[in-house]
Structure 1
C-alpha cells in the first residue's frame, strides 16, 4: 500500500495532508474513543457489532455524533484499494481552542479513519496458525474498560512487559480474577467446556469474543462465562485469546508453564474451522 488515503472530518485526503489541532482534546486528554475493524475483500467483518460498541463508547463519554458510518468506511477502503485491510476509526470530543479540562457540550467532534493492510487469517489454514506465549500481570487500568477509549498507556506497558519476557501477549488480573489481554479477550477450556471471563465494566466486550460464543452455542459446545483464577488458567486443557484482527489464537505457555499438551488443542481446531466457515459465508454475502 502506498501513502494511503485517510478520512478526516468529512474529507478523504492523502495521509501526509491530514492535520489535527494541538488543542484537540484527543491529543491533550485522550478524550476520545476508537474502533479497529477488519475488512476482508472489501467487506467489513462484524461491522454492525463494531458500530454498536462504538455507539456505546460515544454515549458513555457523552460525545454526540450520528453518522452513516458504513458508507464512509466502505468508501475509505475502496480508495485504499479494497482487499484485506484493518480500518482504524477514532473520534475525539473536538478542539476547544485552548487547553481546559472542562468541555463545551456543543463542540464539534474530530473524526479520523485510516487503513492498514492485514493478512486473511481465515484463509491461512489451521496448520499455519502459530501458538503463542503469554504472561500474566496486574491489571492497572481504570474501571470503565467497557468503553473503548484511547487511554491505552496501561495496555502499552503490559504489552511491552510481555515482549521483554519473550511473550506475545499479557493477560491481566485484578483482585485475583483474570480480566483480559492487553489487546485481546481470554478463553480457556477444561473438560470440554469453554470458559471466558464474565462481562463487566472491567472488560471490553470484544466482537470476536461475541462471535466465539455465538458459534459455540450454534455448535452445541458447552460454554460458561465466569470469574476465572490464575490457578484455573494454569490447569486448563486449552487457553485461547481472541481479537478482530487475529481471530482465535491458541496459547501454548503461560508464564513459561506449558498449557495442556503444549500444542493446538482439539477444541481450538474445531473453533478455527467454525470461524473459517463463518468467514466463507461472510464473503458470499450470507452473513451481511
Structure 2
C-alpha cells in the first residue's frame, strides 16, 4: 500500500496535513530526493542521502536528523508499505513559521511518501523516446536538488505538448541535462556526458552508469557537447531514478543514429538491471 509520513506521523495519502505556513508550500524552501526500491531493497540509498545532505548544506538547511536516522526511517516506512517495487519521495523544508523571507527559528519539516514504482511501458523502452531542445532558463545552482522546479516543469510541459518525452536544456551553446534527467551521447563506442558543475544535478543513475561503463571497459568521457554533436551522435540516452537508462531516438524531429536503441545503450541498460536485482 502507499504510505505518507509528515513530521513523525504516518498519515493517509489524501489527508490535508501540510500547514498553510509551511515554507516548502510558501517558498519552495527545501530540498528533496527520490529513491527507488527494487524487490524491497533501496538502490544506492547512501548516495541519494549524501546528495540530500549536500543540497541541504548548500541552502543552509538543518534537516534535524542524522543521515543514519533518516535512512532507518525510510527503510522502516518502505517495509511498512509492503511494496516490493516502490518510489520513495522525501523532502525536507525549513519548517512551519509565519511568512517571512528571513530564516525562521523552528524545526525542519520532513515528509515522505512511498508509492508503487512508475514503470515505463516496454514498447517505450524498445522504441526509445523523442526529445526537444530548449533554452536552459533555470538558476545557476542546479546541483542543488531544490523544490524550486518551475523552470523544469515549464520545459517538461513544452516537451509534452510537442509530443516528446523530455526537454533537453541548452546553455551557452552546450547541452546541460534534461528537465529531470542527465543526458549522454555515444560516438565511436565512447560514452560522453556533461561534466559535473553547478549547472547540472549529480544524478545517482548517472553515477551508476559511469561505474557500469568502467566495469565493462566502455570509454566514459565527461566533456561538454553541443546540440549538433547530439544530433550527429551514434546513440543518445538519458538517465534518472525513474527512467533508469532510456534510449533517445529523435531530437527536434531529427533521427538519432539508426532510429532505434543502440548496442551501447542496450548493454548499459541490461547491466543496470543486473545491479538492481
TM-score (norm 1): 0.91
Equivalent of 1:177, from 168, 174, 178?
Answer: 174
TM-superposition CA deviations, 1:179-221 (whole Å, max 9, x none) = 0001100000001110000110000000000010011011111
CA RMSD of aligned residues (A): 1.7
Deviation at 1:29, TM superposition (A): 0.8
In the other structure, the counterpart of 2:113 is 114
> Contact (CA 8 Å) 2:47, 2:204: kept in 1 or not?
yes
> Contact (CA 8 Å) 1:186, 1:242: kept in 2 or not?
yes
Deviation at 1:64, TM superposition (A): 1.1
The answer to which of 74-83 and 39-48 deviates more is: 74-83
TM-superposition CA deviations, 1:155-194 (whole Å, max 9, x none) = 1101110011111100000010110001100000001110
Q: Does 1:272 align with 2:269?
A: yes
Deviation at 1:238, TM superposition (A): 0.2
> Contact (CA 8 Å) 2:193, 2:221: kept in 1 or not?
yes
Q: Does 1:30 align with 2:31?
A: no
Mapping of 1:160-239 within 5 angstroms? 160-239=157-236
TM-score (norm 2): 0.94
TM-superposition CA deviations, 1:47-70 (whole Å, max 9, x none) = 011001001011111111223122
Q: Which runs of 5+ in 2 are unaligned?
A: none
Runs of 4+ more than 3 Å apart = 124-130
In the other structure, the counterpart of 1:103 is 103
Mapping of 1:125-144 within 5 angstroms? 129-144=126-141
- How many residues in Structure 1 have an aligned counterpart in Structure 2? 274
In the other structure, the counterpart of 1:61 is 59
Where 2:115 maps in the other structure, the secondary structure is strand
